[in-house]
Amino acid sequence: MDRFRDIAPFIIVDAMMLTLSWYGFYWVREPAATPPELFVPAVVVALFWLVMVALSGMYHKTYLVSRFDELLRIGKTVTIGTLVLFFLLFIDSMGWNERNLDQAKEVTFIYWAMVYGCLALGRMGVLTWQIHQIKRGHGLHKALIVGTGPTSHHIKEDLDRHKLSGMQVVGFLSVHDGEQGQVEGLPILGHVRAIRPLIREHDIRDVIIALEPESRDDLVRILDLIDLPDVSVKILPDFHQMISGLNRTNQIYGLPLIEVMPDPMPTWERFMKRAMDVVISAVVLVLASPVFVLVAVAVRLSSSGPALFRQARVGLHGREFTIFKFRTMYEDAEKRTGPVFAQKNDPRLTPIGGLMRKLRLDELPQFWNVLRGDMSLVGPRPERAYFVEQFKEKIPLYTRRLRVKPGITGWAQVKWKYDESFEDVVEKTKYDLFYVENISLRMDLKILFNTIITVVTGKGQ
């Protein structure tokens, strides 16, 4: 709800100003045009622009963004959107002669200027109103400070001096057992181990890590605890070298902080990634249906038990879902041993199980998981909760994998092998974290290409 309250004024004002821009455009070109004639096209075009604004990420971070940066973002979005409309609406309706081309340039520039002016005016108004509200102490994001030493005191004092940081500190968390009392007039709410329930209880949006030099070795452990969606984590610049590759430098109204573990994938790429998931998985499920039938029959004939295997796995942000696979092991293979790693020449595999794994045929039903939205085509492989609980205690930043949807294939799958030991898990986690920090459509396509090569050549395990 807090995030919705942040973006709702922008959506409402954007819709009003984009509709107004269409009326303004026609008023400049055709003053005699009557408002009833323009209402429907104005609404349709405004919806187009709202989609463009959303895909450009302008609703992703709206809280206290720089007005100068916002003008640049608006310019980029309006330029791309205007070119799209130009090619969709005008390019087929005019002859390619110099007069028409000059006229098209003039009309396009007028429309660009009208949309840019209206959108910029509306957004500058909302941002100015937002700043005014924050100066009065309204709409502040609640924040926690991790640490109780001199560094935390300085951070609190800096935030008090810089009201436009937009953060209201509600308390402190200790990194040492037994600490109680107050810091700078605010309570020590507990140990950092309790940060997750405290974040939910106090509706925290920002966490600032203010550790003393002797506690810096605890940074990775603390980052593991705070790896939550919709919570911004910031640290002092002194720690920059310790988390190289996981940060983005911010200057919050004179207060230098580093935001760690930001989302590197732009909104439009996330949209395209999901669109690619839906289209490809739907096509595969339809075209490969005969293969599904043949594999299912082969599984049933090779061993007793169902052809389809269902199992609970941990997905995005730690939510569990049911994964579907063709069965490659004998039924109840883990009944005696419990959950264990895969093995070379695994005795639990059925006569065709090894071949299915090499060709990735056992993964085919997971296209249904992708279509449902539980998984993506590309991402870290989903693990069982039994293993996740163990790994997150032993592998630093392991839960960072859960910030993206799990995938049928991933960077670790094309670069490593099946997990046969804890050391394999550690190595695969390095590849998974690299993917999470560098996620992009380009990388997804590269991984899909490598996966196809692996399947065709039969190099899988």
Residue 48 pLDDT greater than 80, yes or no: yes
If asked whether residues 127 and 42 sit together in one domain, one would say yes
Choose the final residue of a domain: 89, 118, 135: 135
* Nearest by Cα to 233 from 36, 448, 400: 400
- pLDDT tens across 129-142, in order? 988 888 888 888 89
Runs of H (alpha helix) within 30-177: 35-55, 67-85, 98-135, 150-161
If asked whether residues 220 and 150 sit together in one domain, one would say yes
Choose the final residue of a domain: 97, 113, 135: 135
If asked whether residues 202 and 334 sit together in one domain, one would say no
CATH code for the domain of 229: 3.40.50.720
If asked whether residues 347 and 234 sit together in one domain, one would say no
Structure tokens at 18: 């984009």
- pLDDT tens across 69-122, in order? 899 999 999 999 998 888 776 655 555 555 666 777 788 888 999 999 999 999
If asked whether residues 97 and 226 sit together in one domain, one would say no
**Number of domain units in the chain:** 3
If asked whether residues 286 and 434 sit together in one domain, one would say yes
- pLDDT tens across 344-372, in order? 667 778 888 888 887 888 889 999 999 99
If asked whether residues 393 and 370 sit together in one domain, one would say yes
If asked whether residues 450 and 305 sit together in one domain, one would say yes
Find the helix packing angle between 35-55 and 267-287, rounded to 10°: 90
If asked whether residues 188 and 85 sit together in one domain, one would say no
More confident site: 416 or 378: 378
Q: Where are the beta strands (DSSP E) in 315-442?
A: 320-326, 376-378, 407-409
Q: How confident is the model at residue 290 (pLDDT cuts 50, 70, 90)?
A: very high
State the CB neighbour count (10 A cutoff) for residue 67: 13
Q: Of 50-59, 223-232, 416-425, which range is least confident?
A: 416-425
Choose the final residue of a domain: 85, 106, 135: 135
More confident site: 99 or 123: 123
If asked whether residues 23 and 125 sit together in one domain, one would say yes
If asked whether residues 303 and 428 sit together in one domain, one would say yes
- pLDDT tens across 164-223, in order? 778 889 999 988 887 888 888 899 998 888 888 999 888 898 899 888 877 767 777 888
Q: How confident is the model at residue 17 (pLDDT cuts 50, 70, 90)?
A: very high
- How confident is the model at residue 121, as a pLDDT? 96
- How confident is the model at residue 242, as a pLDDT? 43
If asked whether residues 150 and 115 sit together in one domain, one would say no
**pTM of structure:** 0.74
Q: Which domain holds residue 332?
A: 267-457
